[in-house]
Amino acid sequence: MPDSPPIRPGMVIGILGGGQLGRMLAVAAAEMGFACHIYCPDQKSPAFAVAAARTIAPYDDEAALAAFAGSVDIVTFEFENIPLATLRSLAEKVPVLPDPRSLEATQDRLVEKQLIAGLGIGVSAFAQVASQSDIYSALARTGRPALLKTRRLGYDGKGQTLIRTGDDPVGAWRSIGEVPAVLEAFVPFEREISVVLARGRDRTMRAYDVAENVHVDGILATSTVPASVPAALADEAIAIAGRIAEALEHVGVLAVEMFVSTDNRKRLLVNEIAPRVHNSGHWTTDGCLCSQFEQHIRAIAGWPLGGAERHDDVVMENLIGDAVAEWPALAAEPGARLHLYGKTETRPGRKMGHVNRISPAGDT
Amino acid sequence: MPDSPPIRPGMVIGILGGGQLGRMLAVAAAEMGFACHIYCPDQKSPAFAVAAARTIAPYDDEAALAAFAGSVDIVTFEFENIPLATLRSLAEKVPVLPDPRSLEATQDRLVEKQLIAGLGIGVSAFAQVASQSDIYSALARTGRPALLKTRRLGYDGKGQTLIRTGDDPVGAWRSIGEVPAVLEAFVPFEREISVVLARGRDRTMRAYDVAENVHVDGILATSTVPASVPAALADEAIAIAGRIAEALEHVGVLAVEMFVSTDNRKRLLVNEIAPRVHNSGHWTTDGCLCSQFEQHIRAIAGWPLGGAERHDDVVMENLIGDAVAEWPALAAEPGARLHLYGKTETRPGRKMGHVNRISPAGDT
């Protein structure tokens, strides 16, 4: 599909998924002169409000998918839990980018970790837990504490539990629903960072500056650029993300979350790959001329990638659940840009918006 | 209407007019968490593609206007040629900002010039031409060359003609359609500048840096910030625009175009007032944290105004007619951000998009 003709202004980009990432992709695409058609089962999808067309249907509705494929010039996706069969069905009729392979490799945590390990890239010790009987051998491999995570459909800390010394491993297995899982060693880390990069159809890559991330209760709370890591470590992180993107032959934006280990060697351990625009890249909208959203559209459309240079320092803070009630104060804060997702219902743990706090770029 | 409660995220902003200004306003409003409802008679309106709801109806369709008023929490407009009766009808049912007065004072060139002159602000000599018999006395007042302009419905150089020495004044009068007109002295100017500012419901004002504009064939070609004018002149220009905004009790973004006269006194002569977001403010999207579009939405919504500080130097170039065919080269140009309006048909003189070329802010 990277060989299909470039997408020209006026053409229609189909986006699977109607959350805030789809919404911000649709806005960026509109600014470039494209029309967007959002496909999402949820009729309250925030992305619908900024799209030229919408389809409300389940991801396995073949008739709706066929009609969608017939109405768009290319398809992309905003999150990685789209069923693979959906993408494959669409890919028979219309170009789909990133290629479904990127999704296949990342929507299963075990396959993802095997990919990373296979590239010789640092990853915490892990073991498959296919059944209850696997859990003790897996613990023998990872030690404690260890994180037991479902192989599929986990996000924002969901579908995972920590097994500490003294915890009942079988209870942990039950708490995640006794589904195929992976156990991974809990890595003591001094900080979390991420790389957001884009790879174009022409195989060029552009990486944004490394972000330093803080998670609270498994959900990203803040991303800060520049990250307080040595330049060599930042370069290494970008190189790792680039090798992953190349291994996947990925086209589009891709994000790689990593831990910086607490030991003296400051090893980088890859935690997670997201084959899409990423929350830790939201700072780019106000810190760069070309945001991660425009960059993703450029990549899949076959346009040259935009510059990823940063014109300001940025701290991005997520507004989760009731935190969005602070919007009046945030709207009044100098140097802050408030982004709200138009979600009608506030729920604990739900991402309602974010704020980018800007300051002139220092010397790094 | 400035006393009505602030517009909260999730509420609906109605926008009259569906062109590129409405489109960019709708995008900014969506980023702030609002939904937009666009009202426009033209079913191909570019703004429809980024709006949650749309009404396609004439501006004098009372039933459609009533339904529109009932579906939105506030109404604003993207251009000043909306019939005043439309705004007044809506204003009986729902808050309308800017107040229809701003539109009334600026959609008639004679009333506009009388306002400016009445404030003691520089304006070129002008005279009313209500009928053919007025034209010679008017020319006696302005001298030649002079511009004969329709009082209403002119934009982008339309509805106007130049009367030079030797030209037939009656022929000029016929060429503009023998409609009520104003004749104005053609001012020799060294440059054109504009001020884009916002005035909030709380009467605070924020002005963006002065832009230097070049028109070709009556249509804005480029806006450059910073303008190459002395700081004192820029300050004077901003003060003039502020006095006009205050005189109108304007709420929202307002733009004032001015000439810098060629004589040694470098006088500022106001050419035109636009009670809305303005083409010469398009640079703000990529040069400031808070664009003119977000700023307008903040103002009418009763939010505090955003900062108007500029983080980069910008040259904005309009893509008019076939110039949009250059999009592949522009998309590949480092330091440039391409904005396309999604218009399906390219016509000579039609604004199809613009490009902002960015460079680090110099010392000014």
Of A48, A311, A327, the CB nearest to B312: A311
d(CA B160, CA B139): 15
Q: Which residue of A has its CA nearest to B10?
A: A342
Sequence-ordered alpha helix ranges (H) in chain A: 20-31, 62-71, 84-91, 100-106, 109-118, 135-142, 169-175, 231-247, 284-287, 292-301, 327-331
Cβ A339–B27 below 8 Å, yes or no?
no
Distance from CA of A101 to the nearest CA of B (A): 28
Tell me which chain B residues have a C-beta less than 8 angstroms from the C-beta of A204: none
A302-342 pLDDT, tens digit per residue, is: 999 999 999 999 999 999 999 999 999 999 999 999 999 99
Q: Residue A317 is encoded by which pair of tokens? A: 């803070």
Dihedral sign from CA coordinates of A347, A353, A355, A356: positive
DSSP designation for A275: S
* Fold annotation for A125-185: Dna Ligase; domain 1 (3.30.1490)
- Cβ contact B289–A335 (<8 Å): yes
Residue B341 to residue A33, Cβ atoms within 8 A? yes
Query: Quick one: tokens of A87?
Result: 């993408």
Please say if the pLDDT value at position B223 is more than 70.
Answer: yes
B33/A341 touch (CB, cutoff 8 Å), yes or no: yes
Q: What is the mean pLDDT of residues A47-71?
A: 98
Chain A residue with Cα closest to B9:
A342
Task: Tell me how close the Cα of B284 comes to any Cα of chain A, in angstroms.
Answer: 12
Mean pLDDT check: name the lowest of A321-330, B281-290, B355-364.
B355-364
Q: In this predicted structure, what is the pLDDT of residue A315?
A: 98
Q: Is A339 in contact with B31 (Cβ distance < 8 A)?
A: yes
Closest residue in B to A283 (Cα) is B289
Q: Are A159 and A149 in contact (CB under 8 A)?
A: yes
Q: CB distance A340–B32 less than 8 Å? A: yes
* CB pairs A-B closer than 8 Å: 106
CA nearest B27 in A: which residue?
A: A27
pLDDT at B266: 76
Q: Do A340 and B33 touch (CB under 8 A)?
A: yes
Residue A80 has pLDDT above 90, yes or no: no
Write the CA distances from B150 to B155, B160, B172, integer angstroms.
Answer: 10, 6, 11
Joined together, the tokens standing for residue A143 give 């030690």
Share of residues in chain A with pLDDT > 70 (%): 98
Query: What pLDDT is stored for residue A4 in this prediction?
Result: 84
Answer yes or no: is pLDDT of B94 > 60.
yes
Residues B295, B273: Cα–Cα separation, whole Å: 18
Question: Residues of A at the B interface (Cβ-Cβ below 8 Å)?
Answer: 9-10, 23, 26-27, 30-36, 48-52, 286, 289-290, 298, 303-304, 306-307, 311-312, 324, 327-328, 331-332, 334-335, 337-342, 344, 353, 358, 360
- B contacts of A362 (beta carbons < 8 Å): none
Q: Which residues of B touch A (CB under 8 A)?
A: 9-10, 23, 26-27, 30-36, 48-52, 286, 289-290, 298, 303-304, 306-307, 311-312, 324, 327-328, 331-332, 334-335, 337-342, 344, 353, 358, 360
DSSP H/E element including A356: strand A351-360
Q: Report chain A's C-alpha Rg in angstroms.
A: 20
pLDDT for residue B2 is more than 80:
no
User: Are the Cβ atoms of A35 and B342 closer than 8 angstroms?
Assistant: yes
Nearest to B33 among A332, A334, A342 (CB): A342
pLDDT score of A155: 62
Closest CB from A31, A332, A353 relative to B33:
A353
Name the residue among A50, A303, A353 with its Cβ closest to that of B50: A50
N- to C-terminal Cα separation, chain A: 39
CB A289 to CB B34 under 8 A? Answer: no
| Three-state DSSP state, A313 | strand
Stretch A204-233: mean pLDDT:
96
Chain B hits for A36, CB-CB cut-off 8 Å, are 49
pLDDT, one tens digit per residue, over A149-183 is: 999 876 666 788 999 999 999 999 999 999 999 99
Contact B201, B2 (CB under 8 A): yes
Handedness of CA B130, B133, B134, B138 (dihedral sign): positive
pLDDT at A263 over 80: no
Where is average pLDDT lowest: A79-83, B11-15, B127-131, B325-329?
A79-83
Residue A92: C-alpha distances to residues A1, A38, A73, A100, A200 (Å): 10, 19, 13, 11, 22
The reported pLDDT for the residue numbered A81 is 84
The residue of chain A with its CA nearest to that of B358 is A289
What per-residue confidence (pLDDT) applies to B154?
A: 66
Alpha-carbon torsion B215, B220, B224, B230, what sign? positive
Question: Residue B291: closest CA among chain A residues belongs to which residue?
Answer: A337
At residue A187, the pLDDT reads: 85
Considering chain B, what percentage of its residues have pLDDT values greater than 90? 91
d(CA A50, CA B52): 6
More confident residue, B80 or A169: A169
Is the per-residue pLDDT at B81 higher than 90? no
Q: Which of A312, A334, A353 sits opposite B307 (nearest CB)?
A: A334
Record: contact A49-B49, CB cut-off 8 A: no
Structure confidence at residue A156 (pLDDT): 62
Question: At A348, is the secondary structure helix, strand, or coil?
Answer: coil
pLDDT number for residue A1: 54
What's the CA gap between B198 and B242, in Å, rounded? 9
The CATH architecture assigned to B12-96 reads 3-Layer(aba) Sandwich (3.40)
Any residues with CB less than 8 A from the CB of A189 and at least 6 apart, and which? A259, A260, A261, A262, A269
Two tokens, residue A34: 């494209």
CB nearest A303 (choices: B331, B341, B360):
B331
Domain A189-360 sits in CATH at 3.30.470.20
Residue A71: both structure tokens together: 């109405």
How far is B141 from B126, CA to CA, in rounded Å?
7
Domains A125-185 and A189-360 share a fold: no
pLDDT band at B364 (very low <50, low <70, confident <90, very high): very low
Contact A360 B286 (CB under 8 A): no
B342 to A303: CB separation less than 8 angstroms, yes or no:
no
State ipTM: 0.95
> Which residue from B247, B238, B235 is spatially nearest to B120, judged by alpha carbons?
B247
CA of A5 vs chain B CAs: smallest distance (Å)? 13
What's the whole-number mean pLDDT along residues A90-102?
97
Among A183-187, A207-211, B154-158, top mean pLDDT goes to A207-211
pLDDT at A364 over 50: no
The mean pLDDT value for A292-309 works out to 98
A37, A13 in Cβ contact below 8 A?
A: yes
Q: Which residue has the tokens 């174009």?
A: A200
- CB–CB contact A289 B358 (8 Å): yes
**pLDDT tens profile A271-282:** 999 999 999 999
Contact A50 B32 (CB under 8 A): no
Q: Sheet containing B12-16: give its strands across.
A: B53-55, B35-39, B12-16, B74-77
The structural domains of chain A, with segments of one domain joined by +, span 12-96, 125-185, 189-360
The sign of the dihedral angle between the CA atoms of B291, B296, B302, B308 is positive
Q: Binning pLDDT at 50, 70 and 90, where does residue B155 land?
A: low
Select from B40, B290, B20 the least CA-distant residue to A31.
B20
Phi-psi region at B59: left, alpha or beta (left = phi > 0; alpha = psi -120 to 50): alpha
Whole-angstrom Cα distance, residue A80 to residue A271? 16
Give the per-residue SS3 of chain B.
CCCCCCCCCCCEEEEECCCHHHHHHHHHHHHECCEEEEECCCCCCHHHHHCCEEECCCCCCHHHHHHHHHHCCEEEECCCCCCHHHHHHHHCCCCECCCHHHHHHHCCHHHHHHHHHHCCCCCCCEEEECCHHHHHHHHHHHCCCEEEEECCCCCCCCCEEEECCCCCHHHHHHHCCCCCEEEEECCCEEEEEEEEEEECCCCCEEECCCEEEEEECCEEEEEEECCCCCHHHHHHHHHHHHHHHHHCCCCEEEEEEEEEECCCCCCEEEEEEECCCCHHHCCHHHHECCCHHHHHHHHHHCCCCCCCCECEEEEEEEEEHHHHHHHHHHHCCCCEEEEECCCCCCCCCCEEEEEEEEEECCCC
Q: For chain A, how many residues are written?
A: 364
Which residue shows structure tokens 């002079």? Answer: B146
